[in-house]
Structures are given as structure tokens and as C-alpha cells.
């Protein structure tokens, strides 16, 4: 079977006097039957080219599912008078959410598998109507397309029936008022899918008549609604890349009007929360890596704020969670997280730290305001997720659950490391590594001859956490080294780390990834002949950029839902996310920013060179990176490549940005990606 050839129909653009020609612009015609047939032809070609790996895919899938506790239940957490948990059952794709009184039977409140009986894609969540006894309603937002447009269902837990009311065209973001009858929820702009409106629904009313209580008219902002853990206030937040703004309303008076707390100001990001008689403000005003202040529960100016936690050099105040007697602070320094517990009553402080080389630390399910302990989650590349409760008074942590890993897994068989790779400008780049040292010690596959998979992201100030993934063991057990390069553009080392690779410094993200990969090979962590790379979304942009810059560096690349057509997308304000991301990538109305984006946009810089083997994945209903970006990129790569590298496109015709919703389908997707990598970078004659 020959590779599909996309029809060439050039569209000419002239921006700032720069002539651009897009030969595959027509692929954006979502409803065009020719487009759908082309995507199906690409899928068929991908299947044909990977047919030789079917046995390996089956083996990998068996290994992955063999390491998953198919029937499992999460550690229960308290919310009001109930304990809630989530159960997975063997053979079922989706979770079953349950709750029970301390001395009562288990009650199924939401079985997502029921929706999956009628839909091939399902995302569903739930929100109880309140913590007070007698509040027996459940709001259930459900998405059956992957476009992140939800219908909110209302379930009466006494009868088990769903009410006739259906709130359509919403998001999954919602909050109940304290009366248990008034629901606030967000809607998206139907064209750009920007979350831009907050509505108020009263139980029993026609959803078509719901009241619009807030609309975000600035196209660079999105908005959302939530209720504070204290149950005291409903909040509406507005967010743009470099600014936020909050409005508040007492949760006991849901028919009131939201008040503005502090007017938005460019380069001022803050988060508002409530405890006792104060609003608490985590703010970056005069503190790039944030500090904590408090003020009275009314509109306020910064001059009125009282300092609670001052800014500290080199320490990022990532998250602050408030409780009646203490606050929990998640901090990050040198790309490592820790927790501080500050007691409001006696002023004491308890620290939670770890000496693992690299790990992921997160705050867990903490819904009770009057709590005496804090739940947190800890994992590493070689240690499964562990759920702990730390006691506020003693500071001791109690393990509540460690994710089981069937199949004879022993964490002591694996090693994780943190190394620092030098970038070309002298910056030290943190890299998280995982591998099996016993394979090298036994002489089976010396480290310097190993295949390596290098992963990266590097945008939006998002930190890539070195978490445990049971599926990844299939690579480590085959001798792979897995490396996460924490490139600039992420948040691992604070605001400066993010600012150091955005707008006119974005290329630092790509340079860091290349330089770190070169360093790992030079230090003997892997073979230069067996080096592969992976990234998703903005990480897919990273893949495209480094392929253009150094096409010989990687033997195989997996690019998931890649953002590769930067300039054309940023010029089209009808596309979701565009207007809200001018401060991330640049407003192309500015000639300097336009030319800089054009200089690295993967789709616009494909040269006639020998490209690596490339597997590109996308989804027809992706609401964040439209399917046509990767489809166009693959067409151009294939048309210009003068090497023998395999260039494949796989489109999920029923999913969105996050891929398949069912867990078993996701395992199949992982097995396919891993088989592609193994087939192209594994040592000849190696046992696969």
C-alpha cells in the first residue's frame, strides 16, 4: 500500500509583506467528505505499515493490562457526612463513583459505564448539591464527543432518577450554592469554545431561561466558578496568561450580585480564597514566585493587605489550601516540591519533605474545612502512587493506599535519578531519569548502548511531573532509559523559568531539549543510534521544532496532538484558544512577533532532509489543537522528506484532545506507540 497523497490546493497569505503558501489549507474543511476519506486512508496506511508490529502490540498490551489492578478502589475521602470513593472493575472501561455513611451500605451515585453503553466516547464528572444532610441532588456534566461541551444532568439520589431538566452547551465547571437548589455553571463561546459566561440555574426552572450572571467580553480571558472549601463564598474567576480577576458572592445568598474584589491589572496574577473572617490572596504582586496575604471579606486594594507568607528567593508558592485551623502550602525549590502546614491556632509549622532523587508531590482530595489532617499524593518514576494523610499536630504521615502493581513488580529493580544538563547559554536544565540498572550490571545491555526515550513539554508554565506509569515499565524492562527534560517554558524552577522560554525567547525550549539530549548521550546514558523522543500538544510543537533543527538527532519521534501550525493558527481568532494565547506565543499583528513565530513554526520550516521515523496522533474532535494541524504537517513532511523515515498519521475519529476516554482503548494506543518506538530503536536481535 502506498502512502496517501494529499491533494495540493495552494492558498496564498501575505502578512507583514511576507508571502506564505499553504498547499494543504483545504484539510481544515471538517465536513468535507474528501477530508474524512483522506484521514481514513491515513489510518489504513498506518495500520498497514505497523502490521509487522501487531504481535508486539499484543504482547505490550498484555503486559500493560497485566500490571493494572483491573478491579480497584481509591482511598475514601470525606465530604460532609459521607465517604466518597471511585471503583474500577475488571472488563469495564469507566469508573464507578460510590459513597457511604460511616456505618452504612455503599451507594452507587454515578456509573459512567452506563453512558458508555450508548456512546463511544464519554467524559463525566459529578458534584453533590452540598454537605448538609438532606441535600440529595447530584449534578453530572457529560461530554460524549470529546469537544469538551457538556450536558449537565441532575440526579435525585433518593429515587435514583435523573430529572427532566437538561442544561445543554455547558462545561464541566459548576458550583452549588448552600441552598442545594441553585447551581452556577459556565458556558463556552460556540465558535472559539472559550469559557466566557457564568449562568445561574434554579432547580425546577427551564434551563433555557437561566440567568446570565457574568460574561467575559475580553477575548483574551476565560472565566470559571467555584465555591470555597469554607462553604462561605461563591467565586467567579477570570484568567488570562498574565492576569486574573475575582468576584465573590456569599454562598448563602445565591440570588445576590457578585462583587468585584480587585480589578484586573496586566502582569498581576492572584488567587482568592476564604477562611474565617478573611480573604486570603496568593499574589505575584512584587513577588514573581508568589506570596500570601490576607484582608477583610470585601473589595480590597493591595495596600490594605496583611502579609502572611512573604516571598522567598528561589521558592515558588505553588498552591495554598485553607482550612479552619491551618493552611497547607505546596512549595517548589530546585524543581522539587514540599509541603508546609501552618497552624492558625498556635502558630506552629510542620514540614513534609522527601529525599528521593526525583518525585511528584501533589495535594489530594481535601474537601473538609474542619479537618485535622491533610491528604497528599506521592509517586516517582519507579514508585507507584501512594496516598497519605499527615496529622496536623504530630506531623506524622499515615499511608492510606499504595497503588498495587501486579505482575511481580519490585521498585528496587529500577532506579531514578536527577541530573542537570548544561544548555548552550550555560543554564542548568533538570532531567528526571528512570531505568533498570540490573540490565547493565549483568552485561546484557550496557547503559551506553541503551535505547532512550526523551520526553518534553515546556509551555504555559506547566511543570512536567515525574510520575509513575505502570505502562512505562514495558520500555524500562526492554532496556530503555526514560528521560523527562524539564525545559524552560515550564514551571519547574519558578516564574523566571517560564518567562525564559515564551514569546521572543521561545526557542530556548527547543534548544534546551536538544542540548539535554546531546548531554545524555555524551554522558553514556544511551546510544546515539537508539535515541527517540515524545511530546504531546505544545510538546508536539517541541517535537516538530527539534526535528527541523536537528533531524538526525532522533531515530524515532512520537508527536501527540501536536500544535505545529503556529502562525496560521495564531492569525485565526475563530480557532479555540487563539486570542487567549497571544501572551504565550505572540500576537501576529506585531511584525517582530510574527516573524519570530514564523522562524520556528514546525509546519512552516519543513526542509527536504532525511526525517526520523515519525508517528503523529490526532483526534477529529480535538477542541484545543485542531486535527488539521497534524494532518497538514504529515502531508508536508512526507512530500519533502528525502530519507527513508516512516511518517505515519493516526486520527481517532471519535475522540478529543485527551485521546480515547475508555481505559482499555488507551492501553491499546500506548501499546501501538511503544511498538512503533521499539521497532525503530531497539537493538537488532534484541528480545522484544
The alpha helices in 70-112, defined as continuous H runs, are: none
Report helix, strand or coil for 334.
coil
Of 112-121, 230-239, 441-450, the least confident: 441-450
Write the pLDDT tens digit of every residue in 454-472.
999 999 999 999 999 999 9
Contact 275, 323 (CB under 8 A): yes
Q: Which residue has the cell 490576607?
A: 294
Report phi then psi at 47, rounded to 5: -60, -40
Which residues, 6 or more positions from 23, have their beta carbon under 8 angstroms from its beta carbon?
Answer: 8, 9, 10, 11, 635, 636
Mean pLDDT of 271-281: 97
Q: Tell me the C-alpha distance between 613 and 27, whole Å.
A: 23
pTM of the model: 0.94
Q: Is the pLDDT at 154 greater than 80, yes or no?
A: yes
Residue 537 a catalytic site member: yes
Can 93 be counted among the known catalytic residues? no
Question: How high is the pLDDT of residue 441?
Answer: 52
Phi, psi of 123, rounded to the nearest 5 degrees: -130, 125
Extract the C-alpha cell encoding 328.
497547607
Query: Residue 683 — pLDDT band, cuts 50, 70, 90?
Result: low
- Nearest of 615, 534, 661 to residue 57 by alpha carbon: 615
Q: Which of 324, 228, 130 is nearest to 236 (CA)?
A: 228
Q: Alpha helices, DSSP H only, in 87-132?
A: 113-116
Long-range contacts: 569-573, Cβ < 8 Å, 24+?
Answer: 569/626, 569/629, 570/597, 571/13, 571/15, 573/192, 573/219
pLDDT digits (tens, 9 = 90+) for 102-146: 888 999 999 999 998 998 889 999 999 988 777 789 999 999 988
Pairing of β 556-560 and β 613-619? parallel
CA–CA gap between residue 650 and residue 671 (Å, rounded): 14
Instruction: Kindly report, residue by residue over 6-42, the tens digit of the pLDDT.
Output: 999 999 999 999 999 999 999 999 999 999 999 999 9
Length of the chain, in residues: 688
| pLDDT, tens digit (0-9, with 9 covering 90-100), for 627-678 | 999 999 999 999 999 998 999 999 998 876 666 667 888 999 999 999 999 9
Mean pLDDT of 521-546: 95
Is residue 562 within 8 A of residue 543, CB to CB? The reply is yes
E strands in 157-297: 162-176, 182-188, 195-202, 211-215, 222-227, 233-240, 243-250, 259-262, 270-275, 278-283, 291-296
Chain center to CA of 360: 14
Cβ atoms of 506 and 489 closer than 8 Å: yes
pLDDT of residue 235: 98
Specify whether the CB–CB gap between 72 and 95 falls below 8 A. Answer: no
Residue 169 phi, psi dihedral angles, 5° rounding: 70, 25
Q: Give residues with Cβ within 8 angstroms of 320, minimum separation 6.
A: 271, 273, 280, 282, 292, 309, 327, 328, 329, 330
Where residue 160 falls (left for φ over 0; alpha for ψ -120 to 50; beta otherwise) is left
Higher pLDDT, 588 or 345: 588
Measured CA to CA in angstroms, residue 449 lies from 254, 445, 452, 525, 684 at distances of 64, 6, 9, 8, 12
Catalytic residue among 622, 623, 652, 669: 622
Name the band, by pLDDT with cuts 50, 70 and 90, for residue 687: very low
pLDDT band for position 259 (cuts 50, 70, 90): very high
In percent, the amount of the chain with pLDDT more than 90 equals 84
The verdict on whether 611 is a catalytic residue reads: no
Q: What share of the chain is helix, strand, coil (3-state, %, to 5)?
A: 25, 35, 40
Among candidates 120, 45, 40, 50, which has minimal Cα distance to 673?
Answer: 50
In this structure, are residues 89 and 96 in contact, taking their beta carbons and an 8 Å threshold? yes
Q: What is the mean pLDDT of residues 248-258?
A: 98
Which residue is catalytic, options 271, 613, 657, 680? 657
CA-nearest of 181, 184, 295, 275 to 232 is 275
Q: Give the CA angle between residues 594, 597, 600 to the nearest 5°.
A: 150
Highest-confidence segment of 143-152, 390-399, 559-568 = 559-568
With 50 as the cut, is the pLDDT of residue 475 above it?
A: yes
Which residue's entry shows cell 505553588? 318
Q: How far apart are the first and last CA of the chain?
A: 26
Q: Is the pLDDT of residue 368 over 50?
A: yes
Q: Quote the cell numbers at residue 48.
A: 498497514
**Average pLDDT of the chain?**
93
For residue 363, report the phi and psi dihedrals to the nearest 5 degrees.
-80, 140
Res 527: pLDDT: 87
What is the average per-residue pLDDT within 376-398?
94
d(CA 234, CA 249): 5
Once rounded to an integer, what is the mean pLDDT over residues 293-322? Answer: 97
Instruction: Choose the catalytic residue: 537, 601, 623, 661.
Output: 537
C-alpha cell at 284: 505575584
In this structure, what C-alpha cell is assigned to residue 347?
A: 502558630
Nearest CA to 430 out of 486, 508, 510, 358 is that of: 486
| β strands within 251-364, DSSP E | 259-262, 270-275, 278-283, 291-296, 306-309, 316-322, 326-333, 336-343, 349-352, 360-363
pLDDT (0 to 100) of residue 462: 96
**Distance in angstroms (rounded) separating the CA atoms of residues 533 and 614:** 10
For residue 443, pLDDT beyond 60: no
Amino acid at each position: 500500500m502506498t502512502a496517501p497523497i494529499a491533494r495540493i490546493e495552494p492558498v496564498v497569505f501575505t502578512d507583514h509583506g511576507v508571502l506564505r503558501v499553504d498547499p494543504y489549507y483545504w484539510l481544515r474543511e471538517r465536513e468535507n467528505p474528501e477530508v474524512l476519506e483522506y484521514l481514513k486512508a491515513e489510518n489504513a496506511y498506518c495500520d498497514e505499515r505497523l502490521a509487522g508490529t501487531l504481535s508486539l502490540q499484543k504482547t505490550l498490551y498484555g503486559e500493560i493490562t497485566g500490571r493494572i489492578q483491573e478491579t480497584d478502589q481509591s482511598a475514601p475521602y470525606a465530604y460532609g457526612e459521607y465517604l466518597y470513593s471511585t471503583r474500577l472493575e475488571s472488563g469495564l472501561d469507566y469508573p464507578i463513583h460510590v459513597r457511604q455513611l460511616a456505618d452504612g451500605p455503599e451507594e452507587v451515585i454515578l456509573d459512567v459505564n452506563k453512558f458508555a453503553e450508548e456512546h463511544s466516547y464519554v467524559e463525566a464528572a459529578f458534584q453533590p448539591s452540598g454537605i448538609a444532610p438532606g441535600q440529595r441532588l447530584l449534578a453530572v456534566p457529560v461530554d460524549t464527543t470529546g469537544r469538551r461541551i457538556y450536558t449537565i444532568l441532575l440526579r435525585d439520589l433518593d429515587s435514583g432518577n435523573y430529572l427532566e431538566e437538561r442544561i445543554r452547551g455547558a462545561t464541566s465547571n459548576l458550583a452549588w450554592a448552600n441552598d442545594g437548589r441553585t447551581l452556577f455553571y459556565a458556558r463556552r463561546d460556540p465558535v472559539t469554545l472559550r469559557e466566557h459566561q457564568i449562568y445561574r440555574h434554579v432547580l425546577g426552572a427551564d434551563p433555557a431561561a437561566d440567568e446570565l450572571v457574568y460574561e467575559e467580553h475580553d477575548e483574551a480571558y476565560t472565566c470559571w466558578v467555584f465555591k470555597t472549601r469554607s462553604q462561605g463564598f461563591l467565586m467567579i474567576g477570570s484568567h488570562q496568561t498574565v492576569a486574573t480577576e475575582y468576584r465573590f458572592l456569599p454562598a448563602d445568598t445565591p440570588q445576590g450580585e457578585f462583587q468585584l474584589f480587585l480589578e484586573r491589572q496586566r502582569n498581576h496574577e492572584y488567587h482568592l480564597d476564604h477562611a474565617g473572617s478573611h480573604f486570603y490572596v496568593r499574589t505575584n504582586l512584587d513577588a514573581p514566585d508568589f506570596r500570601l496575604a490576607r484582608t477583610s471579606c470585601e473589595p480590597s486594594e493591595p495596600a490594605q493587605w496583611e502579609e502572611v507568607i512573604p516571598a522567598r528567593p528561589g521558592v515558588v508558592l505553588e498552591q495554598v489550601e485553607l482550612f479552619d485551623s491551618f493552611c497547607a502550602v505546596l512549595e517548589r525549590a530546585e524543581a522539587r516540591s514540599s509541603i508546609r502546614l501552618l497552624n492558625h491556632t498556635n502558630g506552629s509549622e510542620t514540614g513534609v519533605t522527601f529525599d528521593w532523587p526525583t518525585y511528584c508531590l501533589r495535594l489530594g482530595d481535601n474537601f473538609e474545612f474542619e479537618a485535622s489532617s491533610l491528604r497528599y499524593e506521592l509517586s516517582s518514576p519507579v514508585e507507584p502512587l501512594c496516598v497519605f494523610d499527615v496529622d496536623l499536630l504530630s506531623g506524622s504521615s499515615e499511608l492510606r493506599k499504595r497503588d498495587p502493581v501486579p505482575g511481580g513488580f519490585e521498585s528496587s529493580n529500577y532506579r531514578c535519578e536527577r541530573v542537570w544538563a548544561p544548555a548552550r547559554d550555560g543554564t542548568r536544565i533538570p532531567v528526571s531519569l528512570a531505568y533498570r540498572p540490573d540490565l547493565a550490571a549483568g552485561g546484557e545491555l550496557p547503559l551506553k548502548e541503551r535505547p532512550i526515550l526523551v520526553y518534553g513539554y515546556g509551555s504555559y508554565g506547566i511543570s512536567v511531573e515525574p510520575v509513575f506509569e505502570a505502562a512505562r515499565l514495558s520500555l524500562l524492562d526492554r532496556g530503555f532509559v526514560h528521560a523527562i527534560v524539564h525545559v524552560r517554558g515550564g514551571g519547574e524552577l519558578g516564574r523566571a523559568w517560564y518567562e525564559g522560554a515564551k514569546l521572543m525567547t521561545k526557542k530556548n525550549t527547543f534548544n534546551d531539549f536538544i542540548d539535554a539530549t546531546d548531554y545524555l548521550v555524551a554522558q553514556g546514558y544511551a546510544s546515539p543510534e537508539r535515541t527517540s523522543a515524545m511530546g504531546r500538544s505544545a510538546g508536539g510543537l517541541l517535537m516538530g521544532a527539534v526535528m527541523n533543527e536537528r533531524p538526525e538527532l532522533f531515530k524515532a519521534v512520537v508527536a501527540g496532538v501536536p500544535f505545529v501550525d503556529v502562525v496560521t493558527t495564531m492569525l485565526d481568532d475563530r480557532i479555540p484558544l487563539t486570542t487567549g494565547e497571544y501572551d504565550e506565543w505572540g500576537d501576529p499583528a506585531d511584525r517582530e512577533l510574527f516573524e519570530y513565530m514564523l522562524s520556528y513554526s514546525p509546519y512552516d520550516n519543513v526542509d527536504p532532509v532525511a526525517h526520523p521515523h515519525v508517528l503523529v496522533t490526532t483526534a477529529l474532535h480535538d477542541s484545543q489543537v485542531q486535527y488539521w494541524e497534524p494532518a497538514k504537517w504529515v502531508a508536508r513532511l512526507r512530500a519533502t522528506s528525502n530519507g527513508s523515515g516512516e511518517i505515519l498519521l493516526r486520527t481517532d475519529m471519535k475522540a478529543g484532545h485527551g485521546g480515547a476516554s475508555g481505559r482499555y482503548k488507551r492501553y491499546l494506543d500506548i501499546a501501538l506507540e511503544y511498538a512503533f518506538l521499539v521497532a525503530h530503536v531497539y537493538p537488532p536481535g534484541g528480545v522484544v
